[in-house]
Structure formats: structure tokens, C-alpha cells
Structure 1
Amino acid sequence: MKLPPGPKTPEIVQLLQWVANPLTLMDDCAKKYGDMFSLWVSGNGKPIVFLSNPQAIKEVFTADYKQFDTGPANQLAKPILGQYSLMLMDGDRHRRERQLLMPPFHGERMKTYGQLIQDITLAVTDEWEIGQKFSVREVMQEISLRVILQAVFGLQEGTRSQQLRQLLSEMLDEISSPFNSVLLFFPVLQKDLGAWSPWGRFLHRQQEISKLLYAEIKERREKPDPSRTDILSLLMSARDENDRPMTDAELHDELRSLLVAGHETTATSLAWALYSIHRVPGVLDKLLQEIDSLGNNPDPAAFAKLPYLTAVCNETLRIYPILFITFGRIVKSPIEITGHLFEPGTQLAACIYLTHRREDIYPEPDKFKPERFLERQFSPYEYFPFGGGNRRCLGIALAPFEMKLVLGTILSRWQLALADKRPVRPIRRGFTLGPSGGVRMVVCDRHHQKSRIVETTV
């Protein structure tokens, strides 16, 4: 079978380009080869076929889940997530685990997290002082990490919570640095050479995190409390169709996955949102008018229903998707996608970044225009920041909900401005796409009830 066209450069060159400058690589390939091309960037010696045509993406997302394997395509993430992570599972096992994990992230459970998210946002930002400069990504990471620890674990402030926060922040910052990102894509470099080596430090922190997670699981097993509504308690009480609970190892790896994937991604999206809100003329004014319409001390869930705030979050996730591509699907039996026949072993990936920047779907795709989400509805094959099909992210409801509550709470209480007029560019942070420099902002003033100072753009 002939693969779609792609660069002729050696695999090692393509992989280094993918690690160092993925956006330029994808843009160049889309211009030269169109909306279906092949790149040797998997890190396992096999090519990935990139798809950015909505019809092709629809055919992949709606195909029988038994048509593909995804776990083997995600093996590079195994050191971070663990072998029992949902992201590394396939087939019936993946379906069973997903059914166990889904309920806490949807429906009525969401409402119980609303007040928690607002309280944590207030607690973190109430420490700000007028004139203070800060890294938005670091503050948003502090908020989202506290949210995930309390919503997922039910951990209140205490020694174990503080230790987990510190260890997770250190581990993610280190492994997500531009230099150490290389380690994730070249397993041959993952050598434990002691505490002074990058991989050695990473493994040591992983072990410390695991001790804390297993200690929490053990404590919950010994002292069950049916009144608890945190996600760990719900998972521990969940049973599959054979009445089998999750094992300690399965719980550990799923919790680790939720901790890593569930807070870093949301924090990054919040940083991008605050950057665009304060950089693009008119956006902040419209948001403040909409937030003011709620009156004083609105219910936290009211923020989630605001149309323009929702559009701002959607546009943030469109123009700055956290992941460049969806999880790769490895073909198990011959399949035809938009007239192209793919043989078993071929890895297909819907390209979120390129699809979200198609000019035929999003006119002026490089411009931050929240109004586009008020003017039309996009299909799940044109807009899919959380992936699609049976591999869609579990956080598809919780993450935007958290984004809207955090943004609404901050903007209703503080006047901020960008501390630097220079544009912030996207850079790789591990497997994700984050803002260079973390976005620097300055605290200008407090908003007092309904009095606003809305001129904050620089």
C-alpha cells in the first residue's frame, strides 16, 4: 500500500522537527501536500498519516471501535501515565474502564464542583496585590491543581495535598521543558543515572507521587465513607458488568492520568484565554458587560451559561488546542477513508491544529474571533479540541466548565493588563502546546461590585 505523500527527509530529522517546531512542520506539510500527508514522527519507527479533512475525520471517528487499536500508539506516554491508564487501553477493556470513569465527569456531578472551583479561584487570587506582576500559567496551574486534587481526591489542605501539589508541579515543569521534552520522544535517552540526571529526577518524583497515591487509596479502603462525592470515592465504589471493582493499581494509574492530564491542560488553556482577552480589542469589554448582567454574587454555574464567555473559551481551544493531533488510531483490518485504502498497521491521526485553522471553515483562521461560535454551529469533525469518537477526552464537560468559572470569577473581581506588549508564541511543553514565558500580567486594580475600569488592553 502506498502511503499519502510527505517529506523525504530522514526519520530522525522529521522527529527532531516535530519535537522542536511542530507547528511549522504541520503548516509546511499542509501547504505542500494538502489535507492528508505522512510524517515519521511517532517515535516508534512507523509513520503517522495526518488528516485534516472533516469528511475523513468523520469516517475515522464514526468507524467501529474494533477497527482500530489506540493503546500502542500512546506508548510514549506510558512513563507518565502508567500501564493501566485508560489512554493505553483498547477494545472491550477500554470500553469497560471508560464506563466506570464517565459518570463523575458529567451531569449532576458537575454542579457539585462549581462552588469548589470558585472558592479555590478566590482563595488563590485574593493573595494578589495591586502592581504585582505574575505568570498567568503558574497561577492557573495552582488553581487547576487544587481543583483536581479536591474534586478528584477529595483532599483538603493538608500535608499529603501539599506534597502532591509540589511534586506534580516540579515533575511537569521539568519534563515539559523544551530540552527534556526530547526525552519523551526518544526512549533510548530515558536512562536513570541518579538524582543528577533529568530522567533519574523524573523517576524519583514518580515514586514519591505513587507512595502518596497508594497511601490515599489504602486509607480510603480501610475507612470507606459512602457520603463522599469526590471522584476517587466514586471510582472505588464503581463496579463493571461482572461486579468487579477497580484494583489498587488500576486506580493508581487512572488517578495519575487524571492528575497529569486534568490540570496542566486546563491551566494552559486558561493562560491562553486571559492572554487573548487582554490583547484583542473589544473582547474584554464585551465579557465585562455580559458578566455584569449577572448582578452581584451570581451562582457559580451562571458563568457557564454566558454565551460570549462560552464563545471565548471555544475560540481559545480552537486557535490554541492543547494537543496538535488526536490519539493515533492503528488500523487492524483494511479500511477506506475518503477513497484511500489503508492496510493494517497504518496509524491515522486527526490533526486538531490544522483542521481548526482551515480557512474554508474558519475565515481569517489566525484571528481570535469569539463571534464565530455565536454565528454558527460547528460539527464534531470541524471542531474537536477534546478529540472524538470512542477516544474523546473524559474532561470534555469539566474542562470548559472550569475555564468559564475561573475566568468569570477573576474578571468580575480584578482589573488586569498584559505586562509585555510582545506577542506570546506557542511552544511545545511535553506532549502539549503552551504559551512561551507563561504569559506575564500585572494586577491593576480591584473591581468593586459593579464599578468597572474596563480599559485594560495594552
Structure 2
Amino acid sequence: MPHSALPAGPGLIATFDFVRNPFRFLDACARRYGDWFTVRVPGVSPFVFTSDPAAVREVFLGDPDALHAGEANRPLGAFMGERSSLFLDGAEHLRQRRLLLPAFHGERMASHADAMRTAADNAIASWPTGRQFAIHPQMRAITFETIIRTVFGFADDESGTELRALMKKLFALYSSRLGTLLSLPAMRIDAGPWSPWGRAVRLTRQIDSILYAEFARRRKEGLEGRADVLSMLLAARYEDGQPLPDNVIRDEMYTLMLAGHETTAATMAWIINRLLTNPDVMERARAEVFSILRDQQLDSSHVGKLKYVEAVINETMRLDPVIPNFGRTLKRPLKIAGGDLPAGVTIAPCIYLVHRRPELWPNPNQFNPNRFLESRPSPYTFLPFGGGARRCLGAAFATYQMKIVIAEILSRVELKPVDGYVARATRRGIAFAPSEGLPVIATGAAVS
């Protein structure tokens, strides 16, 4: 990397391709510029992309007071709220993260297995047989219902039904092209209920009314026996014994819904795409599921045994990361991997390109789940959930759900690809998913 100036990079027109076809854009930049390149967007500080594993390690282990992830994530805050841990830095972030971690501990996942399986089964039962349908929206339906039940803890009563309807409307706006534009502060103008930002403001007010009423109701009635994430946050206390303020809990719930819902759904769509285009892998994964279930209903006791299914998930996240990079804004000049970067720029370790380095991943473009059965990769070379003190809080939750959903699909239905379809990455909210919703055809019940 040059020491006297920022690395070279594409011009503004070429940068627009990052939205249209992000993987093609990143491949082209890597070929032309190497391990480091700068992406400039008007009105935003430069993004210095890197695929150098040494730089990734230094960023993950670097001083969080100098490398602000929350500030780099700030454009996502339009819908999620400023008090989310996603947008905090330094001691404030660590304080809040400590309270959130227990809600996503591995042992907690077992209590959610039945809800995850039921959401998958209900969706699968609705799939048409013998005709084409888009599977990505089905994955979104599964993750949405799972979060409503296991994270929010809402049932099918009146408030739960209303919350579902409002959240779906908000998510439709958030994941649209308008939602992408609303990440720019200049676009957040409330010009009435028919303006994009005006719609978002009114939807969030309605959702907030339901959530704050629910917070009060649960505190009054007690939280005993509840395993959902919202109830755990209502019960959590800071070191001084004070509870999390309602606005903080509200912002975390929005983040878990909007960020966690779409990233997991998009990843599962990519997994289906990889299984369809690698039928030998699909058959091996299906054989594992049948051998573990032995005609039993899938439950928490089976999830840890799905080793090959988990390897398929990991290999898909290696090749098709739904978030291709993450960012840290430099609060002071830093030397990273031997090069000097000035304060104010955002260093963006590129998940997509690190996962394709041939010296780290032999035959990097080959889909080979065995990589994850034969060895455990370094956290600086396999980073679908980010890393360091900012690693995604919901990583264990997402992986647990994906194993259940993919196992249910493999055990219950036969899928085949649509002739002529080739997936490319398209943006949905903060995630990149397969184009056209990934069209597939269900041909009937799965057989062992």
C-alpha cells in the first residue's frame, strides 16, 4: 500500500457498479488494483478496501477508540435507531454488548429450536409443487416469523398480529431502492405520509407504540419463564443495577429484526442456490439429515450433529457473503499492515475478497464444504460475521437457525433449479441476495 497517499481506486461511474453487481465490482478492483484500493462516494469519507489478512488481523485487534465501527455503520441507522449497539463505539459499546451477549449464548438456542422448525415447516407446506416460485421471499418469511416469536416473544394475539403487519411494511420500505436512498441523511425529509421518509416515520411511531406498551405490560406481569430475547433485555441490568432504558431496548429490537432478518434469509437463499448447482453436495447433506433424524422430528438434540450441513453453510458464506465488507472509521492516523492511513477515512476489510485468496483457500472459486470438515479456519481468513470485539452478536443464533431450516428443507421436499437461471447478487436492505428471488421448482416430497 502506498505510504504517501491513499491507494488508487475506481472512478465514481465505475463505483456505481458496486450497487448493481457488487461481486463483479470487487473482482474487477482486485484484478486492477491488488490488495488495496480506495472507493469514493460523494459526501462520504473515502473507503479504503483491503483483502490483506495482516490488515484484517490488525483491524480486529486494534484500539477500538481509534477504529470506530459504530461511526462506520452510521448510514444504516435511518431505520434502526441511534442507541443500537451497532452504532456505538468505545466503552459505551462494550457496556451494552455485555448485556446483550447472554441472550445469544449457544445454550439459549436450544429453547428456540421448536419455533425455528415450526416456522420452516409452515413455509414449506405452502410451496407449490411442479411450478416455479421464488424461494428467497420464503426464507424471509421464515426468519421474520422466527424473530417475532423468539426475539420479540410475540404470539398470534391482537398485538402480535398488528406488529407483524407493521414490521412487514417497514421492512418492505427498508429493503427497497428507496430504503437504500434513505441511508443518506439528506433524503430523510418528512414531507407527509406519502413521502418515503414520512412513511417510515409514521410506521415506526405505530411500532413504537406497540413495543413500549409491551415493555410496560411485561414488567408489570413479570418475566418469569420467558426465554425470548426481549424479555431478557427487560430483565438485564448495568453494573450499577440500572435497567436498560426503553429507547435502547427499542433500538436493539429494530436492529435484530431489520439486520438479522434479512442477512439470515439472504444467506439461506444462497445456500439453496449452492445446493441446487452442486447436486452431489445436496445428496450428501440430505443423507446426513436422514441418518441423524431416523424418522424423528428434528429438535435441539439433532442440531449439533449436522456437521456436513454446517460445512455447507460455512462454504456458502465463504463464497457468497451477504455483506461483502465491514468498516472502521479512523479517529487518528494509523499504520496498518505497514501503510499509513489518515484520520477520517474508513478502512473496509473485504470479506468477499479475503475469502477468495488462493493462498488461503486453494481453488478458491470451487464450492467444497470439505474445507470446513478438514480444518478450522483462522478468524482473520474466514469472517462472514466480522470479527474482534465487533463480531456479530447474532452469529450463533443465525447459524443455529440456518442448520434447522436447511435440514427441514432437505428432509421434506425435493427442489430443482430453473433452466437457464444464473444467480447474481442484488441488494436487499443491507444484504446482497440472489437475483430474482432465486426461482426454484419443488418436485415433491424428499426421499431418503
TM bin, normalised by shorter chain, reads over 0.9
Distance (whole Å) between structure 1 residues aligned to residue 349 and residue 47 of structure 2: 10
Q: Which amino acid aligns with 2:431?
A: T
Q: Give the letter for the 2:29 counterpart.
A: C
Segment drifting more, 210-219 vs 235-244:
210-219
Give me the identity figure in percent: 37
Q: CA deviation at 1:410?
A: 1.7
Residue 381 of structure 1: how far off its partner (Å): 0.8
Q: Which whole-Å CA distance do the structure 1 matches of 2:269 and 2:103 have between them?
A: 26
Residue in structure 2 matching 1:270, options 268, 271, 282: 268
The residue that corresponds to 1:282 in the other structure is 280
Asked if 2 retains the 8 angstrom alpha-carbon contact of 1:70 and 1:330, the reply is: yes
Deviation at 1:183, TM superposition (A): 0.7
Change (3 A) 1:8 1:18: closer
Aligned partner of 2:31 in structure 1 is: 31
What residue number does 1:455 align with? none
Alpha-carbon distance in structure 2 between the residues aligned to 1:106 and 1:257: 18
1:400-411 correspondence to structure 2 within 5 Å: 400-411=399-410
Matched residue, 2:139: 140
Q: Answer whether contact 1:312 1:370 (CA < 8 A) is retained.
A: yes
CA offset digits 1:334-392 (Å, max 9, x no partner): 43211112333232121111111222222333332222222332111111000011111
Partner of 2:4: 2
Q: Distance in 2 between matches of 1:108 and 1:55?
A: 33
Q: Which amino acid in the other structure matches residue 312 of structure 1?
A: V
Deviation per residue, 1:238-262 (Å, 9 max, x gap): 1111111101111111111111112
Matches within 5 A, 1:362-373: 362-373=361-372
2:231 is matched with: 233
Contact 1:291/1:303 (<8 A) preserved? no
1:72-221 correspondence runs (5 A): 72-131=71-130, 133-177=132-176, 179-221=177-219
* Cross-structure match for 1:296: 295
Please, which moves more after superposition, 1-10 or 384-393?
1-10
Work out the CA distance in 1 between the residues paired with 2:422 and 2:17. 23
More moved, 192-201 vs 81-90: 192-201
For 1:47-84, what per-residue CA distance to the aligned partner results, in whole angstroms no more than 9, with x for missing partners? 11112111110011012323322222222111111011
Residue type at the aligned position of 1:221: R
Aligned length: 444
Q: Tell me, in whole angstroms, the C-alpha distance in 2 between the residues paired with 1:45 and 1:127.
A: 44
Counterpart of 1:154, as a letter, is G
1:277, CA displacement in angstroms? 0.7
> Structure 1 residue 215: deviation in Å?
2.2
Larger deviation, residues 19-28 vs 274-283: 19-28
Secondary structure of the 2:394 match is helix
Following TM superposition, by how much is the alpha carbon of 1:273 offset from its aligned partner in structure 2, in angstroms?
0.8
Alignment TM-score, normalising by the size of structure 2: 0.93
Structure 1 residue 15 displacement after superposition:
5.4
> Which range is displaced more, 112-121 or 163-172?
163-172
Residue in structure 2 matching 1:253, options 239, 251, 271: 251
Contact in 2 for aligned 1:237/1:245 (Cα 8 Å): yes
CA shift, 1:35, in A, is 0.9
Query: Equivalents in 2 of 1:107, 1:430: separation in Å?
Result: 27
Which runs of structure 1 show a deviation greater than 6 angstroms over 4 or more consecutive aligned residues? none
Paired residue type of 1:400: T
Deviation at 1:222, TM superposition (A): 2.4
C-alpha distance in 2 between matches for 1:98 and 1:370:
32
Question: 1 CA distance for matches of 2:94 and 2:112?
Answer: 26
Stretches of structure 2 lacking an aligned partner (at least 5 in a row): none
Query: Counterpart of 1:443 in structure 2: which amino acid?
Result: A
**Deviations 1:416-451 (Å, cap 9, x if unpaired)?**
22244311111122322111111122221123xxx4
2:50 matched to which residue of 1?
Answer: 51
Contact 1:77 1:184 in 2 (8 A): no
**Cα distance in 1 for residues equivalent to 2:359 and 2:267:** 25
State the one-letter code of the partner of 1:3. A
After superposition, give the CA deviation of every residue in 1:161-184 in whole Å (9 maximum; x if it has no partner): 23332332333233323x325414
What SS class does the counterpart of residue 381 from structure 2 fall into?
coil
Distance 1:298 1:199 in 2: 45
SS at match of 2:376: coil
One-letter amino acid of the structure 2 residue matched with residue 161 of structure 1: G
Letter in structure 2 aligned against 1:343? P
Deviation, 1:8, is: 6.0
Change beyond 3 A, Cα 1:9–1:279: closer
Report the AA paired with residue 324 of structure 1. Answer: P
Name the residue aligned to 2:427: 428
The residue type equivalent to 2:351 in the other structure is I
Q: Hey, what does 2:21 align to over in structure 1?
A: 21
Instruction: Show the counterpart of 1:358.
Output: 357
Partner of residue 244, structure 1:
242
Write the distance in 2 (CA, Å) between the matches of 1:425 and 1:119: 30
Mapped to 2, the partners of 1:26 and 1:164 lie a distance apart of 38
Kept after mapping to 1: 8 A contact 2:77/2:183: no
TM-score, normalization: structure 1? Answer: 0.91
Q: Is 2:79–2:174's contact at 8 Å kept on the other side of the alignment?
A: no
Could you tell me how far apart the structure 2 residues matched to 1:77 and 1:91 are?
19
Q: CA deviation at 1:298?
A: 5.1
In structure 2, the partner of 1:382 is 381
For 1:389 and 1:289, the matched residues in 2 are separated by: 36
CA deviation vs aligned residue, 1:178-228 (integer Å, no higher than 9, x gap): x32541453323333333333333333222222222222122222223221
